[in-house]
Amino acid sequence: MKRFTTLFICLSFWSDGQSQSPFAGDNKEEKFFEGSYFFDHSLYGISALTYKDYINTPKSSVEGNFQKLKNEASFNNEIAELYLELPQASNQLHYSIDKHLPDPVALPAILEMGRYFYNQREYKNCVAMYDKAEFNLLPSADQVEHRFNKGYCLFVMKEFEKAKQEFLIVKKEMGLYYFHIHYYLGLSEYFTGNNSKAIQNFQIAEQTGIYKPYIPYYICQIYFKEGKNKELIVYGEQSLKNQTIKNRNQIRLLLGQAYFKENDLVMALPTLNHIVKK
């Protein structure tokens, strides 16, 4: 997102009729673009120092863009200090965001701070920060990332209905988060009792090896709860042929009970005895 924002401002800067690259023609703007380069490459220490040089510039030859660039430099400087874990960096960035809201200039900082809290597993803080963002203003790829982050945090906090709202908006977007979204959407539907929707999402998520070992147990539980013993038997037996499947004993226990309810003692007893021997 920060690269997109920097690019947008750079384009607007050049569109004002500048005939020369700011790197070569104006040392003041050069500091801004140097800071942005370091920032985009996660070189936060030198980025912060370079941005501060620019922020302290008394005036610019490009008056129409100076305040806009200065605002971004100020936000990015504070984000850099956040990643450097400097004292009070989080409080300062939070203050700056609230100061500029509802101006969209604060949006990139909100997203960066939300991502920071997500990576730090500060789930409550992450959700609170993302609540300030207008996700609909984002390109689809950025929206998917941040809605997933927020939805995952809500899921961990067991706010499953709110988590579903975030996942549902972006569930059709193919890409890096596609299977992750369907897995956690499936779990959210499962924990809120929407079994058919849970299975639909699980069937998508199990197409990837990341989640395939974990999904059969949930689907078997759903079939068992709904009394769909034949479906459970077919699906459960097929799943157990895959040696990577997790919760194998729990699946065998469900199978044994399903066979028993279907009056198939020949299959029920060996299955249940296998569990007892374990």
**Chain centroid to CA 88:** 25
Contact of 188 with 160, CB cutoff 8 Å: yes
Give me Rg for the CA atoms of the chain: 26
Does a structural domain hold residue 245? no
Q: What are residue 84's phi and psi, to 5 degrees?
A: -80, -5
Q: For residues 229 and 267, is the Cβ–Cβ distance under 8 A?
A: no
Q: For the purposes of burial, counting CB atoms within 10 Å of the CB of 262, is it exposed (0-12), middle (13-18) or buried (19 or more)? A: middle
pLDDT of residue 273: 62
Number of domains in the chain: 1
CA distances from 122 to 115, 177, 178 (A): 10, 20, 23
Q: Is residue 9 part of a domain?
A: yes
User: Residue 13: its pLDDT value, please?
Assistant: 37
Tell whether 227 is covered by a domain.
no
The answer to whether 184 and 165 have CB atoms below 8 angstroms apart is no
> What is the mean pLDDT of each successive set of 10 residues along the chain, which is 278 residues long?
42 37 56 90 92 78 69 90 90 92 90 94 97 93 96 98 97 95 98 97 95 96 96 95 94 92 79 59
Residue type, 130: Y
Q: What is the pLDDT of residues 121-136, one digit of tens each?
A: 999 999 999 999 999 9
pLDDT at 275: 57
> pTM of this prediction?
0.81
**Is the residue at 96 inside a domain?**
yes
In a domain, 199, yes or no: no
Whether residue 54 contacts residue 33, with contact meaning beta carbons closer than 8 Å, is answered with: no
Decide if 138 is inside a domain. no
Question: Tell me, what's the pLDDT at 218?
Answer: 97
pLDDT digits (tens, 9 = 90+) for 9-28: 433 333 343 334 334 445 67
Domain that holds residue 4: 1-133
Residue 21 lies in a domain: yes
Token reading at 224 = 């068992």
